[in-house]
Amino acid sequence: MNYPVWQVAFGSGWLIAVVATLHVFVSHFAIGGGLFLVLLEGSAHRHDDEALRAWLKRHSRFFLLLTLVFGALTGVGIWFTIGLISPEATGRLIRIFVWGWAIEWVFFLVEILAILVYYYAWDRMETLTHRAVGWTYFGAAWASLAVINGILAFQLSPGAWLQDRSLLSAFFNPTYFSSLAVRTLVCLALAGLYALASLAFTRNGLRPDLVKKSAVWVAAPVLLLPAAAWWYLRTVPALQKTALTEVFYLPHLARTVMVSVSLLFLLAAVAWFSRSKWILRPLSVLMLLLGFAALAFSEWTREDLRMPFLIAGDTYINQVPVARLAELRAKGILATSPWVSAAAVTPQNQRRVGEELFRLACSHCHTVRKGLIPLAPKMVAVDETFAANLALRTDQMRGRMPPFPGTAEEARAIAHYLRLSAMPVPQPGDGASVFRRRCGPCHTVSGAFRPLAKSLKGMAESELSDLVQNLDSMNDKMPPWTGTNAERGALCAWLAGQVKASPVGGAP
Ligand code: HEC
Ligand code: HEC
């Protein structure tokens, strides 16, 4: 909590996601596209194919503009946004990988110089020298990926670094090689996708041989991707992998990626046979969109696997270093943060301070009313004590949140502020709704997330009622029951029926 928070209206997570996905889409193309250019230039040279050379020259102009201008701008954009949104974690990444960044920037410089020379010297250099420049470009571009990949993979799986703090452990972490394999395949497939689009929209006649070649550039890596993705998932730490079953949308996301990748393969086969620009034009655009979707969703999945951390095991997404958590919980956020307006919660400042605390502790993943997982509507649905108890137990709820980094008064201030930020709407009193409000944040009946059916199996409604009345005496992770008697009655009647009907439940 050493820094002020930049609160983005629609959720800061979205902003990073948009900038980063655009950058990844272009920067991976910048690598595969480089290889595509030099290899095809070699082929043009061997077959003395002037038309191919001319097309490659035009393609390399598009390539230069897209990768240098758009790629470099969005790259700087990432630094800008993560520096503002996650200053603590960005600072840590810079410090841990000082030499990594330095090396990456050297590669990046070589990459920029090489592509400029490559483009401007098409007709002024001997083919062999020109191709050497092209290879230099590709080598430097891939090497800069190999470096950045180490840092990105580290955030998800810091592995032995958490104990030994060595740069090598941090860099060659458990997901380093598998994610490098996935990313390299993505680079190659993107080269094919952009080439198809470039061929389809060129003013000259269509070259079926080049279309076929580009289609293979898409299809071959796409065919290998599932194996690489499987390897990647195997290397993801077990703790992070539980999200794939517990976070309800992640399996859908993973399936969306698989479907778009399979579709890409099929469409690449269609492209292989295409002889007309009028087919290839919409087809190549569709394929680019699919490629973009697959990439965006896989990056999203990877980021979500890492929750609630920015650097797994080291820094939470709300900028709380794991090492400082105990101190923050004991002394409070207000007492330990330089950028707040009060040193303690009082009845007078509760609302204003609650807003500041929300911004510091929750706004990285939540909005207040509209946008990314708005919290105010959830908080007005229950009484303030229960809402405060939920805020204090963020790490027990679904959603893989960081532990609450402050005191009970501070959690109450957040709940107070949030409850004042939405209009109360009448809450249905049926058992299912009561369960959703008062147990649902932390339990399912018989789903994947902390299911209850097994332990409630065979309990009578009256026993259930006693249990609910004394929840907090069972363990301190659960908030005490603060609902009405009518709510409790409805809940227990409904719960008894559900447990009975669930496969693990039934009569004893
Ligand atoms: C790492 C990101 C993250 C942070 C930080 C975070 N949350 Fe959440 N929170 C989530 C996600 C994701 C969900 C949605 C869970 C779902 O619906 O599956 C959620 C859901 C919730 C819910 C609703 C639970 C339910 O099922 O009704 C509450 C209440 C909540 N968060 C409170 C907070 C509070 C208070 C803070 C700050 C102290 C906070 N969260 C910080 C990610 C986060
Ligand atoms: C803030 C989160 C939270 C809420 C809300 C919550 N629980 Fe729990 N509950 C937990 C946690 C965490 C455990 C497991 C503790 C452990 O295993 O150490 C648990 C355990 C239980 C258990 C013990 C058996 C088991 O399966 O682990 C029962 C029964 C239970 N909860 C019922 C309920 C009911 C009924 C409600 C709603 C009225 C409820 N809980 C609301 C967090 C919560």
pLDDT for position 269? 96
Please work out whether the CB of residue 470 comes within 6 Å of at least one atom of ligand 2: no
What domains appear along the chain, each with residue ranges and CATH number?
Answer: 12-316 (1.20.1630), 329-420 (1.10.760.10), 431-501 (1.10.760.10)
Q: CA–CA distance from 178 to each of 124, 157, 303, 380 (Å)?
A: 41, 12, 16, 45
Q: How far is the CA of 170 from the centre of ligand 1 (A)?
A: 29
- Residue 454 CA, closest ligand 2 atom number: 26
- Residue 362 CA, closest ligand 1 atom number: 37
Please work out whether the CB of residue 5 comes within 6 Å of at least one atom of ligand 1: no
pLDDT for position 7? 79
Q: How far is the CA of 479 from the centre of ligand 2 (A)?
A: 9
Q: How far is the CA of 394 from the centre of ligand 1 (A)?
A: 7
Residue 159, Cα to own-chain centre: how many angstroms?
19
Please work out whether the CB of residue 78 comes within 6 Å of at least one atom of ligand 2: no
What sign does the CA torsion over 319, 321, 325, 330 have?
Answer: negative
* C-beta separation of 179 from 152 below 8 A: yes
pLDDT for position 507? 45
Taking residue 276's Cβ as centre, other Cβ atoms within 10 Å add up to 9
Length, in residues, of the chain: 508
Q: How far is the CA of 474 from the centre of ligand 2 (A)?
A: 8
- Residue 393 CA, closest ligand 2 atom number: 1
Assigned token pair, 446: 């018989």
- Give the integer Cα–Cα distance in Å for 140 and 155: 23
pLDDT for position 10? 76
- Give the integer Cα–Cα distance in Å for 242 and 245: 6
- Residue 442 CA, closest ligand 1 atom number: 26
pLDDT for position 13? 80
- Residue 415 CA, closest ligand 1 atom number: 35
Please work out whether the CB of residue 479 comes within 6 Å of at least one atom of ligand 2: yes
Please work out whether the CB of residue 396 comes within 6 Å of at least one atom of ligand 2: yes
- Residue 358 CA, closest ligand 1 atom number: 37
- Give the integer Cα–Cα distance in Å for 43 and 199: 17
Radius of gyration of the chain from its Cα atoms, rounded to whole angstroms = 27
| Residue of minimum CA distance from atom 42 in ligand 2 | 478
* C-beta separation of 23 from 76 below 8 A: no
pLDDT for position 508? 42
Q: CA–CA distance from 309 to each of 3, 152, 229, 305, 401 (Å)?
A: 17, 13, 22, 9, 9
Ligand nearest to the CA of 405: 1
Q: How far is the CA of 375 from the centre of ligand 2 (A)?
A: 21
- Give the integer Cα–Cα distance in Å for 310 and 297: 18
State the 10-residue block means of pLDDT for the chain, 508 residues long.
83 86 94 96 96 92 90 92 93 95 96 96 94 98 97 97 96 98 98 95 88 97 95 92 78 87 96 92 96 92 90 95 96 94 94 96 90 91 96 93 97 98 92 96 91 92 94 92 96 94 63
| Residue of minimum CA distance from atom 16 in ligand 1 | 399
Q: How far is the CA of 284 from the centre of ligand 1 (A)?
A: 40
Q: How far is the CA of 85 from the centre of ligand 1 (A)?
A: 18
| Residue of minimum CA distance from atom 5 in ligand 2 | 439
Burial degree of 87 (CB within 10 A; 0-12, 13-18, 19+): middle
Ligand nearest to the CA of 404: 1
Please work out whether the CB of residue 92 comes within 6 Å of at least one atom of ligand 2: no
Burial degree of 445 (CB within 10 A; 0-12, 13-18, 19+): buried
Residue that the structure tokens 């996905």 belong to: 21
Please work out whether the CB of residue 407 comes within 6 Å of at least one atom of ligand 1: no
Could you give the angle at the alpha carbon of 232 between the alpha carbons of 151 and 269, nearest 5°?
A: 115
* Among the listed residues 3, 1, 2, the one whose alpha carbon sits nearest the alpha carbon of residue 84: 3
Q: How far is the CA of 432 from the centre of ligand 2 (A)?
A: 16
Please work out whether the CB of residue 64 comes within 6 Å of at least one atom of ligand 2: no
- Give the integer Cα–Cα distance in Å for 468 and 431: 13
Q: How far is the CA of 309 from the centre of ligand 1 (A)?
A: 14
Q: Which residue type is seen at 197? A: A
Assigned token pair, 114: 């090489």
Q: How far is the CA of 396 from the centre of ligand 2 (A)?
A: 9
- Give the integer Cα–Cα distance in Å for 151 and 96: 9
- Give the integer Cα–Cα distance in Å for 343 and 330: 14
pLDDT for position 353? 97
